[in-house]
Amino acid sequence: MNMKDFSLEGKVALVTGASSGIGLAIAKGLGTAGATIVFNDIKQEFVDRGLAAYAEAGLKAYGYVCDVTDEDGVQAMVKRIEEEVGAVDILVNNAGIIKRVPMHEMAAKDFRLVIDIDLNAPFIVAKAVLPSMMERRSGKIINICSMMSEFGRETVSAYAAAKGGLKMLTKNIASEYGSYNIQCNGIGPGYIETPLTAPLREPQADGSRHPFDQFIMSKTPAERWGKPEDLQGPAVFLASSASDFVNGQILYVDGGIAAYFGKQPQ
Q: Is residue 194 within the footprint of ligand NAP (CB under 6 A)?
A: yes
Closest by CA position to 89, among listed 51, 122, 136? 136
CB burial string 166-181: b at 16+ within 10 A, e below: bbebbbebbeebeeee
Burial of 33 (0-12, 13-18, 19+ CB in 10 A): buried
Q: Is residue 46 within the footprint of ligand NAP (CB under 6 A)?
A: yes
Q: What residue 41 binds from ligand GCO, ligand NAP, none (CB within 5 to 8 A, per partner kind)?
A: ligand NAP
Determine the Cα–Cα distance for residues 255 and 249; give it in Å rounded to an integer.
18
Q: Is residue 197 within the footprint of ligand GCO (CB under 6 A)?
A: yes
Q: Are strands 90-93 and 61-65 parallel, antiparallel or unpaired?
A: unpaired
Length of the chain: 266
Site for ligand GCO in 33-52 (CB under 6 A): none
Q: Is residue 98 within the footprint of ligand GCO (CB under 6 A)?
A: yes
Q: Which stretch binds ligand NAP (CB under 6 A): 41-49, 55-63, 131-139, 258-266?
A: 41-49
| Nearer Cβ to ligand GCO (12/166) | 166
Whether 64 is a known active-site residue: answer: no
Q: Tell me how far, at minimum, the Cβ of 145 lies from ligand GCO, in Å.
A: 8
Determine the Cα–Cα distance for residues 218 and 203; give it in Å rounded to an integer.
17
CB burial string 250-262: b at 16+ within 10 A, e below: bbbbbbebeeeee
Selected binder of ligand NAP within 11, 12, 17, 238 (CB under 6 A): 17
Selected binder of ligand GCO within 65, 134, 196, 258 (CB under 6 A): 196
Continuous H helices in 85-115: 108-115
Site for ligand NAP in 215-254 (CB under 6 A): none
| Nearer Cβ to ligand NAP (95/130) | 95
Q: What is the DSSP string of 159-175?
A: HHHHHHHHHHHHHHHHH
Cβ atoms of residues 199 and 215 within 8 Å = no
Determine the Cα–Cα distance for residues 119 and 117; give it in Å rounded to an integer.
6
Query: Which is catalytic among the residues 62, 159, 177, 191?
Result: 159
Q: Is residue 156 within the footprint of ligand GCO (CB under 6 A)?
A: yes
Selected binder of ligand NAP within 51, 87, 97, 217 (CB under 6 A): 97
Q: Which stretch binds ligand GCO (CB under 6 A): 39-47, 52-60, 185-193, 233-241?
A: 185-193
Q: Which residues bind ligand NAP (CB under 6 A)?
A: 16-17, 19-23, 40-42, 46, 67-69, 94-97, 117, 144, 146, 189, 191-192, 194-197
**Active-site amino acid positions:** 159
